[in-house]
Homo-oligomer: A and B are copies of this chain.
């Protein structure tokens, strides 16, 4: 199989695996069900991915690239860091509480070895945080934000934005939030963030 055919085939397989993960959970997404979903054989899946965990690690890694790309798209054309932060909250929150992210996090929670957790963390916090840190740093550089470090500022932004929505989604204690709720949360988080971090405030050690 040529590399580009194989690459497309791999994407088909990984997409099917992800869909099954969302609908059946990790335990229910058997290798055989993935194989049948794309007209592949078990042997091919094992040859290409090694084992079940290998397949879902690949799914997580592909997702990490997608998250990064989507964030970059949301930030494209935003020269002003504060405007960019204001803009990015809603799509970010929507991604993190959406079915795919939740399914991946549930798989990580169900994996006692911790391997999936590491792969999934790359598509979660590790894909998100550096971009937010960069925006906060740019805001500091422009005199628009006053924080003890860009990292601490970014962390605060994410806490205000996400809170416990993600964990409640993962444990099944919360349904998919509506778009209006996501938008309201993003707005409110940004207001709180600026109240805490804009220079006009008392110097607050954040």
Contacts and interface: CB of A to CB of B under 8 A. Distances in A.
A196 B204 CA distance: 11
Interface residues of A, number: 45
Interface of A: 24-28, 105-106, 108-112, 114, 116-118, 120-121, 124-125, 155-156, 158-160, 162-164, 166-168, 170-173, 188, 191-192, 195-196, 201-202, 204-206
User: Assembly of this chain: how many copies?
Assistant: 2
A173 B117 contact: yes
A100 to B, nearest CB: 14
B168 A170 contact: no
A168 B24 CA distance: 23
The listed residue with most B CB atoms (<10 A of its CB), out of A25, A158, A164, A195, is A164
